[in-house]
Amino acid sequence: MSGPSYQELMARKAGIVKASTGLDYSKYATGALAFDYEKLLADTGYDIDTVREVQAQTAVGNTPLVELKNITELVRALAEPGKGAQIFLKDEAANPSGSFKDRRASLSAHEASKRGYAGVAVATSGNYGAAVASQAAKAGLRCVVVQEAFDSEGVAQPEIAEKTRACEGYGAEVIRLSVGPELFYVFLKVLEETGYFNASLYSPYSILGIETLGHELVMQVRESARRIPDVVIVTHAGGGNLTGTARGMRKAGAADTQVVAASVDLSGLHMASDRDFNRKSFTTGHTGFSMPFTTWPDRADVPRSAARPLRYMDRFVTVSQGEVFYATEVLAELEGLQRGPAGNTSLAAAFSIARGLDEDRIVVVQETEYTGAGKHPLAQLNLARELGIAVARGDPRGNRPGERIVIPQHPWQIEAVEVDLDRVRRSYLGHAMESLPEGARLSETDLEFLVAETRASRSTVEEVMNEFAGERR
């Protein structure tokens, strides 16, 4: 590819990001590690009422909350007497491009238009590209989507091909790349050459746009059931979905509601591996994103990610690919809702979590996504078979990412697996120590920041950081 070298472009990264977001991230630094997170969000000038007004102009948000009566009945039939929480689903497929990511894209498109940018650009292989393209079309902006689309053999997952068609259908230019490190280079090059707005998944505009989702679902449950939800389960990838939803819930008065992150277990597969790229049947909502972004959020296309998931999750669980495919089938056949598999990650977790709660408890599955030919489980499973991955019915504990997908034979076999949050916190603190400049010392502000980031005690943070410091010496 012609153009500046990787090193030349990276040397200009800070200036490119500043020009493409209108944000000077350096002014929010308050310590060697710490930054003023709330000020970064507040300086956008958007509160939740303003965000709601912006989204209403493009038919984003105000999606229905659906009581899953038949699935609740099924869960109760499998549970002990008196157990089996009532399950609701927030149907985000009702948004213009068919996912909650319209909420993320709405503010970026609005801000780009307000600031006079000619267009928006985004790097994503997922639903977000379609959301940005849709919102850009509504705002009269041009749009470029840089998409990691296929492996070195030119093979693309059917879901990614589906999303390419969606982006192009909304009028976006799509630059399709093979898996590898060139994605960020090409994206920076696009931003520099076009002067477009960076509609990053990790900008404050993206996170503030999702706050309306958390706020809505609390208010809808309160209206329907005269109470707030007990548990909200969020499909978790890069952390923005969970962060924005939890923040919106708190603003609606649901600070005590348990927030559960749910991801598809793809352990053992490397997301940047050419071999593994198509051996994962899910392009989002999986541990290949959720683990690294939870343990270090700032591995993003902006200097400071506004998605800080560890600040907001009370539990973190995983489910297998087969369990999510099964939940997708159950949703269609019992509730008449055909929705894309990735968004049903949290639904699969709900089968397990609701089963252990009292009947008077309320569980909300926080989002759905649209479905289509490329997103349908059959398309994903057919590609898996072509790659030599075994697909079988049986005990999902026999699932092996990249080798075997096991679809449950019975709903009681669905069992969410707990992730040890203490280990995740320790990993985060290890990354924090690695990013500490040579010779720098942690200030009081830094320690307070790390406590807020990990929700660990001050003594725990100090103990772990001192341990890592000893290992560096």
Q: Which two tokens stand for residue 228?
A: 């707030």
Residue range 379-395, pLDDT digits in tens:
999 999 999 999 999 99
* Fold matches, 6-32+100-202 and 54-98+205-418: yes
Residue range 176-215, pLDDT digits in tens:
999 877 888 999 999 999 999 999 999 999 999 999 999 9
Least confident of 3-7, 414-418, 453-457: 3-7
Residue keyed to tokens 């070195």? 152
Residue range 51-99, pLDDT digits in tens:
999 999 999 999 999 999 999 999 999 999 999 999 999 999 999 999 9
For the entire predicted model, the pTM comes to: 0.96
Q: What would be the CATH architecture of the domain defined by 6-32+100-202?
A: 3-Layer(aba) Sandwich (3.40)
> Residue 295: pLDDT above 60?
yes
> Residue 470: pLDDT above 60?
yes
Q: What is the mean pLDDT of the chain?
A: 95
Q: Which two tokens stand for residue 2?
A: 């012609």
Question: Which amino acid does the sequence have at 392?
Answer: A
Q: Enumerate the domain spans of the chain.
A: 6-32+100-202, 54-98+205-418, 424-472
- Report the percent of the chain where pLDDT is more than 70: 99
Residue range 158-172, pLDDT digits in tens:
999 999 999 999 999
Grade residue 1 by pLDDT with cuts at 50, 70 and 90: very low
CATH class of residue range 54-98+205-418: alpha beta
Residue range 323-368, pLDDT digits in tens:
999 999 999 999 999 999 988 999 999 999 999 999 999 999 999 9
